[in-house]
Amino acid sequence: MSTIPPKDTPNASTEGPQAGASAISFHFYEEDGTVFAELSESSNASQLGKLQLELLLSQDGLDKYQFDEGVLDTLAAQINKGEIGRFHIGNRTDAEIKLDISSDKLLATLDVIPAKGGEVVSPKLLESTLSSNRIMSRCVERATLTTLLNDLKENRAVNQLHIAKAVEPEGGEPTRFESLLKEDKDLRPKEDDSGVVNLKNLRDYITVEPGTPLMRRFPAQEGKAGVNVVGGAIVSEVGTNLDFDLKLEGCELDGNDSNLLLASIKGIPVVMSNGVRVDPVLSIKDVDHATGNINFDGAVIVGGNVTSGFSIECSGHIQVKGLVEHASLISGGNIDIGGGVVGENDADPPGVEYSAHLKAAGDISAKFINSAFVEGQGNLTVKEYALNSRMNILGQLQLGQQGGKGRLLGGQTHAERGVVANILGGEAYVKTEIGAGCDPLLQDTLDKLHSSHTRRVNESKQLKEILNGIVAAGGTEQVGKIVLAKSQKVEEAVAAIEQKVASLEAEISAIETRLTSFNEVTVQGKKRVYPGVIIQVNNGLKKTLYECENESPGLTIGNEE
């Protein structure tokens, strides 16, 4: 760049070699920060475009200033037309900072236009900008500020920077409920004490006793107020307050702690969002791989089926609305099966192992039973048929007495209180063994009790004879300086034996009474009895054995054939 002419006396400094185009020179005026282009006559000046002008400005160190949009294109046109004169084409500008606060005062946005040859935004200017707008320092993130200061120092543009954000209020904690029950959410099979992993034993169902703590309530808590970018408070919301749902059954509040929920009945706890329901019954759709084996202290209702290979063991009743296939049900109460029981018996010898097993402390009922092992302390009611099963029950076996075919075919059956069926055996003369009356083992038990009774009575006699001798000798014996109360000790031994004798007599009496009660027990085939049926009725000491050789229209076997 040549010597700068005065702004008001333009002077050509560049001459072009080609007629028609102007020569150009640039001048920067420090005092007001303006940039001028000087166009002068020239006979050899070249045609120029915007790019050449930018290059010339760069060579003169003037490209850092602010040039208005299109000014260089206009200047190039003027040059190429050969115009002469001085033209104001640019300015030195300082950086500009602009802060905008949203109408809700939750956000402050900052824009910075970089300096063009002028002053950059200093930290002091930034601080004064923020403070003059009352921006709260707690609303400005340190990391954001650090980045901004670096950008300002480097004279970089900043666009829509969220320089300050409101501190949001912390909402109040709503009421919280915490279950106090140990919930086994791990449904993976577990290893038992013997190191065996049964893939069907997924979990244990928890039961609770009355008074068991179920759930604790933590009351709602107030929140913490926030602040907007200019220091205004933002009110927090109070947490939602909720109470226990006391409409749920089987629970009640602790009398001493209104935030503690207790079980009021024994059952299975079902945890809800704000309470716990205690069901006296465990209800399941099906027993299968989704549930695993069921082991429950209470009653169980299965809405569908019990799938092959699975088991239910519970202290209460079991109700299955569908089928029980190759499965085991063990109940501390009754077993009621809406469908039937299907098993098989491939064991050798036959009759030992069955794939379906029912065991109940009470009554058992089913639509049909096929190849199953059934044990019950109450009655067994079957509507259609019982096939090839081993059934031992202490009550009565009734087949088809409330509708249905009522057939007993194959297998071994013993019902202490007798059997009532419509049909015994089948057209193929299948061997069907039926026992009724007292359990043969009951007589053995009675014999053993009698034997023990006799022996204890003899022991009592022996001791009494010894006691007589001791009493005759004074009843005591001196060992060193100690006097032994021999007669007293022997009397105590006699008393203990006589107490045992009394206990045995009570047991014997109970069994004898029970045996007597079997006098009226019968096995009855009301409509038809087929060959192959073997009936044995043990009415106490009186036994009746009947083997059917000819098809009979109906038969009752009891005390007399």
Partner 1 sequence: MNDDAKLIVESIMSDDVHTVTAERTLGELKTIFEKVSYHHLLVENEGKLVGVISDRDVARNLSPFLETSSERRSDRSLLDMTAAELMATQLITVGRESSIDFASILLLENNISCLPVVQENGQIDGIVSWKDILKCHVYGVEP
Cβ of residue 489: shortest distance to partner 1, in angstroms? 7
Beta strand segments in 297-342, E: 299-302, 311-314, 318-320, 324-325, 328-331, 335-342
Q: Which lies closer to partner 1 via its Cβ, residue 289 or residue 455?
A: 455
Residue carrying the six token digits 């602009």: 98
The token pair at 2 is 């040549």
The token pair at 70 is 């299109």
Cβ of residue 444: shortest distance to partner 1, in angstroms? 14
User: Taking every pair of C-alpha atoms in the chain, what is the biggest distance, in angstroms?
Assistant: 169
Cβ of residue 509: shortest distance to partner 1, in angstroms? 19
Instruction: From residue 96, give the alpha-carbon distance in Å to each of 20, 127, 151.
Output: 42, 14, 13
Q: Which lies closer to partner 1 via its Cβ, residue 148 or residue 467?
A: 467
Q: Which of 59, 451, 468, 516 binds partner 1 (CB under 8 A)?
A: 451
Cβ of residue 462: shortest distance to partner 1, in angstroms? 7
- Tell whether residue 493 is a contact of partner 1 (CB under 8 A): yes
Burial (0-12, 13-18, 19+ Cβ within 10 Å), 325: buried
- Tell whether residue 227 is a contact of partner 1 (CB under 8 A): no
CB 484 within 8 A of CB 468: no
Q: Which lies closer to partner 1 via its Cβ, residue 80 or residue 452?
A: 452
CB 157 within 8 A of CB 224: no
Strand, coil or helix: 514: helix
Q: Which lies closer to partner 1 via its Cβ, residue 144 or residue 452?
A: 452
Strand, coil or helix: 52: helix
- Tell whether residue 444 is a contact of partner 1 (CB under 8 A): no
Tell me the C-alpha distance between 411 and 281, whole Å. 34
- Tell whether residue 463 is a contact of partner 1 (CB under 8 A): yes
Dihedral sign for Cα 284, 286, 291, 295, please.
positive
Cβ of residue 477: shortest distance to partner 1, in angstroms? 9
Positions 424 through 443 that interact with partner 1 (CB under 8 A): none
Q: Which of 80, 452, 476, 517 binds partner 1 (CB under 8 A)?
A: 452
Strand, coil or helix: 508: helix
Residue type for position 122: S
Tell me the C-alpha distance between 328 and 471, whole Å. 63
| Residue 349 CB coordination number (10 Å) | 6
Cβ of residue 500: shortest distance to partner 1, in angstroms? 8
- Single out the segment in contact with partner 1 by CB under 8 A; choices: 320-328, 340-348, 455-463, 507-515: 455-463
Q: Which lies closer to partner 1 via its Cβ, residue 450 or residue 527?
A: 450
Cβ of residue 445: shortest distance to partner 1, in angstroms? 14
Q: Which of 497, 521, 548, 557 binds partner 1 (CB under 8 A)?
A: 497
- Tell whether residue 492 is a contact of partner 1 (CB under 8 A): yes
Q: Which of 210, 469, 474, 554 binds partner 1 (CB under 8 A)?
A: 469
Q: Which of 436, 490, 523, 529 binds partner 1 (CB under 8 A)?
A: 490
DSSP 380-424: EEEEEEEES-EEEESS-EEESBTBS--EEESSEEEETT-EEEEEE
- Tell whether residue 245 is a contact of partner 1 (CB under 8 A): no
Cβ of residue 493: shortest distance to partner 1, in angstroms? 4
DSSP 10: -
- Tell whether residue 461 is a contact of partner 1 (CB under 8 A): no
Q: Which lies closer to partner 1 via its Cβ, residue 321 or residue 500?
A: 500
Q: Which lies closer to partner 1 via its Cβ, residue 45 or residue 449?
A: 449
Tell me the C-alpha distance between 327 and 314, whole Å. 14
The token pair at 78 is 């003027």
Tell me the C-alpha distance between 365 and 512, whole Å. 30
- Tell whether residue 471 is a contact of partner 1 (CB under 8 A): no
Closest CA to 40 of 16, 73, 9: 16
Cβ of residue 483: shortest distance to partner 1, in angstroms? 16
Cβ of residue 466: shortest distance to partner 1, in angstroms? 5
CB 262 within 8 A of CB 254: yes
Cβ of residue 457: shortest distance to partner 1, in angstroms? 12
- Tell whether residue 462 is a contact of partner 1 (CB under 8 A): yes
Q: Which residues bind partner 1 (CB under 8 A)?
A: 451-452, 454-456, 459, 462-463, 466, 469-470, 489-490, 492-493, 496-497, 500
